[in-house]
Structure formats: structure tokens, C-alpha cells
Amino acid sequence: MTNAEVCALGRANYTENYSQFPLAIRSGRGIVLTDEDGKEYLDFVSGIAVNALGYGDEEERRALLEVLDDGVLHTSNLFYNRRAVEAAAMLNRLAGSNRVFFCNSGTEANEAALKMARKFGSPLGKTTVISFHHSFHGRTYGSMTLTGQEKYHKGFSPLVPGVKYAEYNDIESVRAVMDETVCAIIAEPLQGEGGIIPADPDFLSGLRELCDRYGALLIFDEVQCGMGRTGRPFCFQHYSVTPDILTLAKALGGGLPMGSALAFGKAADIFSPGDHAATFGGNVAAAALATVVLSRLEELSAEVARKGEYLAEGLRAIAARHPDKVSAVRGLGFMQGLDLTVPVRAVVSSCMEEGLLVCSAGYTVLRLVPPLITTCAEIDRALAIIDRSLARVSL
Ligand SMILES: Cc1ncc(COP(=O)(O)O)c(C=O)c1O
């Protein structure tokens, strides 16, 4: 099938909830994707912060072949499987957590965290959860309610009760809604969909302090900013603040669907048998890929710390060349955003024409989330395309 034929078939048969670009991806190697017509693209989207090891990674290929040779793709959670328990042990070692719950996506990971928080708080009369404006936590009802952006709520009332919103990076706004009824605060240490907004260190330590004072749990959603993307295995490790629950997904399964909620200390024993479940949680194939990604996470994140600074420097230089079109450069490691005064979608399309995939975040931000294996030479090529595209798109 040609690119156009695949897109037409998709448009005719899918529900209309996405506004997809007319591009059908066929194959990939390294960080280069090839479409159905054979055109190549440098990929700075990574399936939206998923494909940490890029495409065609040899270790991932071998891990999947081993699973296929063993013949069991799925076991259910009535039984254990070696790959999932190994992935859980690796997560606990890397994050310093005590217990892992596996599911299939970011929204499910946050649903698990929400249920842990309510189960923890209910006997004490605590059921309120505080979340933040500009946050994004997923599309199922609980996570959608936690998402502090009106546009995601519109048309879907009634939402889940007991959620309050405060201003990100404004601890006074949290104090204003914090009380004895709060069972948890949930925050992204680096907001993604809301526009690539890093947390101030004082803000995160302020949240920790409030949770400790009021006996509430602190949940960090690192679905997007976790798994090495910011230059540490987990984003919270940039700060001297440890959460009670950490949610992950996206890059965790190496391209297969996998999410997790990691529980620390007093949160570790909240769930009892029967409290929560996911049929596919800890799926053998996804867990096999997770062990590959996790075994390389420390090395990858150290590289991302170095190359991320190189990327950020290049973006700052671009911002200086286009001061009328770029109002800010924000991010950490390989999660960077350019806040634009020109239409983001026009820049995305222009980059795509030149063979670079980038995406947006919020209404005005051009988001760069390349695979963690991206080299400085590839960063140079991407920066040159962004520079030319910004020159082309008019105010
Ligand atoms: C911070 C954050 N949390 C949760 C989610 C939801 O993840 P999923 O689409 O896997 O349900 C996302 C997705 O972009 C995210 O960025």
C-alpha cells in the first residue's frame, strides 16, 4: 500500500478522535523512520516519548525472539513470569521503591495510584486529591479528572468527585486548598502535555513537606518524563524529593504497552489481594522489553544528561536567531520545548516536509522528545531543519 492508501483507509475506518498527519510509517532503523512511499524522517517524536532505544535495537529483537521461542506471550496474574518479576526488581532497585504494580498504559498507572490514595485515605476520612492546572494524567475517568485542563473535560461530565486544582510551581496555591481531607497530591515533576514546564525545586520540596504535615501521599506522574528522558533514570532524582507513588509508562515497555505504579515506604502495603488488577499487567513480551530498557537505563540517562545539554544549547541559539518567533526554551535532557509565537502546527508540518518529525505540547510549544540513543550529529541535523522551518513560517 502507498502512504496515501494507508491514510485513506485509516480515515475511512477509525473513529475521528485524532487529527492525524498524512504519514504512514513502515519501518525504522536507529532514529530514522521510513514511510510507506520510502521517504525517510529523523524522528524527534519517538512515538511520543516511547521509543527510547530507537528502532531495530538488537537486544530488543533478541529478547522478543526468546519470548516467542518460549511460546508464552501472556500468563495472567494468576501466575508469576520470570520477565515481569525481573522488571519489577530492576524498577525497585533503580527508583528505590518497594513494590510495583504493572498495567498497560499511563492512564491506568494513574488510576492505580488514585485507588491506592483513596484506599489509604478513606479510613482516615481523607478522600480529596489535589492536582495542577496544565497537568496531563490520561484519558480514563479518574486520570482525566486529575488532568487540570478544561479542554480534556469538556463534554464528559460528571467527572470523578473529590479533585481540586492548584497552580503549578505556586506552593501558596496548594496551601490554600490543603487540609485534613486530602489523601494525595499528584504532580508531574516536568509537565509534558501542558507545555514542557519543569518544576521548581522549592515547589516539589514544598509539596513533600505539605504531604508529610497533613498525612497525605505524594504521587509523581513520570509517565512522560521518567525512564531516562531527563538525564536521570527518573526525573524526581534531579530533586531531593522522593514520592510515595511513582507512575511510569511510555518508554517502560520498549515500544510495547506497559505501565506501572511504584509504591514507596508507607504506600507499599496499601493494596491487598483483590483490590486492583490488570489482565495484561506484566505481560511477558512487554516485560522482556522492559528488562532490556531498564538494564541500560543508568548508562542511557548519563548520556542523555550530556547530549540534552547540547540539544538545549542549540535550541537557545535558535531562539536567539528568531526572537520574534520563540518566546522561551524549556526542558530537561531529551524533553525540550520551544514556546512559539507562530502556529506550532505550521512548524511541525514544515519540519515534516524536510524529513524531521517533531510534535506539539499545549497550544504554543514545539516539543522535542527524541529516542535516548540520538547522537549529537543527529541533533545538529534536526536543529538545522527547525531553524530553516522557523525562518519559513511567518508570524
Ligand atoms: C504525564 C502523563 N501521564 C499520563 C499519560 C497518559 O498515558 P497513556 O496515553 O499511556 O494512557 C501521559 C500521556 O501523554 C502523560 O504524558
Tell which atom from ligand 1 comes closest to the C-alpha of 143: 4
- The response to whether residue 253 sits with its C-beta less than 6 Å from ligand 1 reads no
Q: How far apart are CA 66 and CA 57, in angstroms?
A: 15
pLDDT of res. 394: 85
Cα-to-centroid distance, 190 and ligand 1 (Å): 13
Q: Which domains does the chain possess?
A: 3-56+298-392 (3.90.1150.10), 72-295 (3.40.640.10)
54 residue type, one letter:
G
Which of the listed residues 250, 256, 332, 365 should we mutate to test ligand 1's pocket, taking the one with most ligand atoms within 8 A of CB? Answer: 250
- Percentage of the chain beyond pLDDT 90 is 99
For every residue of the chain, which 3-state class applies, written as one string? CCHHHHHHHHHHHCCCCCCCCCCCEEEEEECEEEECCCCEEEECCHHHHCCCCCECCHHHHHHHHHHHHHCCCCCCCCCCCHHHHHHHHHHHHHHCCCEEEEECCHHHHHHHHHHHHHHHHHHHCCCEEEEEECCCCCCCHHHHHHCECHHHHCCCCCCCCCEEEECCCCHHHHHCCCCCCEEEEEECCEECCCCCEECCHHHHHHHHHHHHHHCCEEEEECCCCCCCCCCCCCHHHHCCCCCCEEEECHHHHECECCEEEEECHHHCCCCCCCCCCCCCCCCHHHHHHHHHHHHCHHHHHHHHHHHHHHHHHHHHHHHHHCCCCEEEEEEECCEEEEEECCCHHHHHHHHHHCCEECEEECCCEEEECCCCCCCHHHHHHHHHHHHHHHHHCCC
Whether 395 has a pLDDT exceeding 80, the answer reads no
- For the cut 90, the answer to whether the pLDDT of residue 389 exceeds it is yes
Q: Which of 135, 136, 152 to mutate to test the pocket of ligand 1 (most atoms within 8 A of CB)?
A: 136
Answer whether residue 355 shows pLDDT above 80: yes
Distance, CA of 33 to CA of 50 (rounded, Å): 14
Mean per-residue pLDDT over the chain, rounded: 98
Mutation to probe ligand 1, out of 17, 46, 50, 137 (largest number of atoms < 8 A from CB): 137
C-beta 50 within 6 A of ligand 1: no
Pair 114, 142: CB distance under 8 Å: yes
pLDDT of residue 391: 96
Distance 137 CA to ligand 1 centre (A): 5
Is any atom of ligand 1 closer than 6 Å to the C-beta of 131?
Answer: no
Which atom of ligand 1 has the smallest separation from the CA of 191? 1
Q: Give pLDDT, residue 110.
A: 98
Query: Does 222 contact ligand 1 (Cβ within 6 A)?
Result: no
CA of 70 to the centre of ligand 1 (A): 32
Residue 379, Cβ density class (10 Å: 0-12 exposed, 13-18 middle, ≥19 buried): buried
Q: How far is the CA of 221 from the centre of ligand 1 (A)?
A: 9
Ligand 1 neighbourhood includes 195 CB (under 6 angstroms):
no
Asked if residue 220 has its Cβ within 6 Å of ligand 1, the reply is no
CA–centroid distance, 27 to ligand 1, in Å, is 24
- Ligand 1, atom 7, lies closest to the CA of 106
- How many Å apart are CA 302 and CA 312, to the nearest integer? 16
Which residue is associated with the grid cell 511513582? Answer: 246
Q: Is the CB of 60 under 6 A from ligand 1?
A: no
Residue 188 CA: nearest ligand 1 atom is 1
pLDDT in tens, 31-53: 999 999 999 999 999 999 999 99
Q: Give the tens place of pLDDT for each residue, 144-177.
A: 999 999 999 999 999 999 999 999 999 999 999 9
Query: Ligand 1 centre and the CA of 300: distance in Å?
Result: 22
Question: Ligand 1: which atom is nearest the Cα of residue 108?
Answer: 11
CA dist 350 and 300 (Å) reads 30
CB-based contacts of 185, cutoff 8 Å, min separation 6: 129, 130, 131, 174, 178, 207, 210, 211, 216, 217, 218, 219
**β pairing state of 245-248 and 259-263:** antiparallel
| Cα-based distances in Å from 147 to 150, 159, 225, 250, 331 | 8, 11, 16, 17, 20
Q: Could you read off the pLDDT of 201-229 as tens digits, one per residue? A: 999 999 999 999 999 999 999 999 999 99
For range 319-345, the mean pLDDT: 98
Task: Say yes or no to pLDDT of 383 above 90.
Answer: yes
pTM over 0.95: yes
Kindly give the number of the ligand 1 atom that is closest to the alpha carbon of 221. Answer: 1
Distance 369 CA to ligand 1 centre (A): 14
Instruction: State in Å: Cα 2 to ligand 1 middle.
Output: 31
